[in-house]
Amino acid sequence: MYLYNSATHKKEEFVTHTPNHVEMYTCGPTVYHFAHIGNLRSYIMEDVLEKALRWRGYDVNRVMNITDVGHLASDADTGEDKMLKGAKRENKSVMDIAKFYTDAFFDDCKKLNIKTPDVVQPATGLIDEFIKVVSALIDKEYAYVAGGNVYFDTSKLDRYYVFNDHDEEDLAVGVREGVEEDANKRNKNDFVLWFTKSKFEDQALKWDSPWGVGYPGWHIECSCISMKFNGEYLDLHCGGVDNAFPHHTNEIAQSEAYLGHPWCKQWFHVHHLNTNSGKMSKSKGEFLTVSLLEEKGYDPLAYRFFCLQSHYRKGLVFTWENLDNAVGAYNKLIKRVAALGGDDGAVDQGVLGACADKFGEALDNDLNTSMAVTCVYDALKADTNAATKRAIIGSYDLVLGLDLIKKADALREKEAAQAKTAGADGFTIQGEGDPAIDALVLQRAEAKKAKNFAEADRIRDELKAQGIEVTDVPGGAVWKRV
């Protein structure tokens, strides 16, 4: 498999430390609010990547953190403490907020067919580990105490990694823009590993440490959680492109300083979901959630389909019109799969293998999901029987996660219920799948046939009272709720 690596700025063959095994880490959510669908785009694409690796035969151990304490890298960072902000907004404790929004995040993931990682670790559950690593960084002279806080000393590194084409000077200015300088720092890029003194004095969660009562910085949690559950060699680190600098840069700095050897080779960054007016964010009033999509009648999996239609390294523009187009295409695709019928017949293994090769090529080409979706249409057109087509699509859907077979079968069942035949002479009733109404419509037809028009009218009035309109058609009747 070839993937673009943000650390080297090129597409490279994906090579793991242990053959056929992937240690994978994902930066998880800060659980102070609902995730917006822009955040969820990253998790959808990372889920496809994980499933593509498994489909390719790798054994994957995927780890994710939950940021439930602080969200600070330095007192000078653009910072409000997001968890505190959430707690104040809703007049709840920080832990209540964390629990509520962690559950909400995984509910959204479930609706979007995003698999839960093998390990999910809230930051508050691993404080001792953070203290151990920060102590070791001080012992190795990669960290220093100033003004009550512990800082990482970026000047001690041979190379301070960056993920884009700017030089460090530009990035440092970018990060400082509009933000007061933290006078305790020795170097402009230094960042806090442990706070005991902060401008956020009302921080609710604090722990004892060798440097006083305080709480961890944000970057250290990802390094520690990964090193604990993925081991010393991480194969693949994922996140939104926002996280590349300074968060991931600082994760590399800490982890490699601690371990004394290179840490993670492959970095996978998913680009933004944009609106017509720019990047989608919580603060700009364009706060779109999975619940909102559902309230408006959208199937969350249609949003997943929308995301898969474009490449993860390109910005994706969200408009309702674009989503409607994706919904139309998704529903049409399900109808075409439904039209294949059931699983009757033998699967042609030769055709199955050839299609798998093409699908694999799409995945191997830097996770080309739009090409992978095109493979589904190719399978529908393939010169083979319906059972083979269903087997191919079922296999692709292990990666795509669009529930194509499940939804197609449900659609066929619904249609079968709507077009049921009743009566000895093949009288057909087409309705909305309600057996009680079907029975009344049939009684009315039988009364008419027996020329008992008073009874037929009585039943029609009874149906009308229930809001049902019946139309006679050749050989049967159609009813609907009006």
Binding site for Zn ion (CB under 5 A): 27, 222
Q: Which is nearer to Zn ion, 7 or 326 (CB)?
A: 7
**Structure letter (DSSP) for residue 242:** G
Integer Rg of the chain from CA: 28
Task: Choose between 184 and 250: whose C-beta lies nearer to Zn ion.
Answer: 250
Residue with tokens 């609710």: 204
In degrees rounded to 5, what are phi and psi of residue 440?
-65, -40
- Residue-wise burial string across 133-164, b where 16 or more C-beta atoms lie within 10 A, e elsewhere: bbbebbeeebbbbeeebbbbbbebeeebbbbe
Nearest distance in Å: CB 148, Zn ion? 25
3-state secondary structure string, 396-448?
A: HHHHHCCCHHHHHHHHHHHHHHHEEEECCCCEEEECCCCHHHHHHHHHHHHHH
Smallest gap, in angstroms, from Cβ of residue 272 to Zn ion? Answer: 17
CB of 304 to Zn ion, least distance (A): 23
Nearer Cβ to Zn ion (238/337): 238
Nearer Cβ to Zn ion, position 156 or 248?
248
Partner residues linked to 216 by β-bridges: 194
Contacts of 302 (CB under 8 A, 6+ apart): 323, 326, 327, 330, 331
Minimum distance of Zn ion from residue 64's CB (angstroms): 9
Closer to Zn ion by CB, 258 or 306: give it.
Answer: 258
What is the spatial distance between Cα 169 and Cα 185, in angstroms, rounded to a whole number? 16
Antiparallel, parallel or unpaired: β 143-146 and 468-473: unpaired
Rounded distance between C-alpha atoms, residue 87 and residue 106, angstroms: 20
CB 298 within 8 A of CB 323: yes
Question: 70 vs 476, which CB is nearer to Zn ion?
Answer: 70
Minimum CB separation from Zn ion for residue 183, in Å? 27
- Closest to Zn ion by CB, 27 vs 109, is 27
Report the nearest approach of Zn ion to the CB of residue 398 (Å): 28
Residue 222 CB, nearest distance to Zn ion (Å)? 3
* CA separation for the pair 215, 197 (Å, rounded): 9
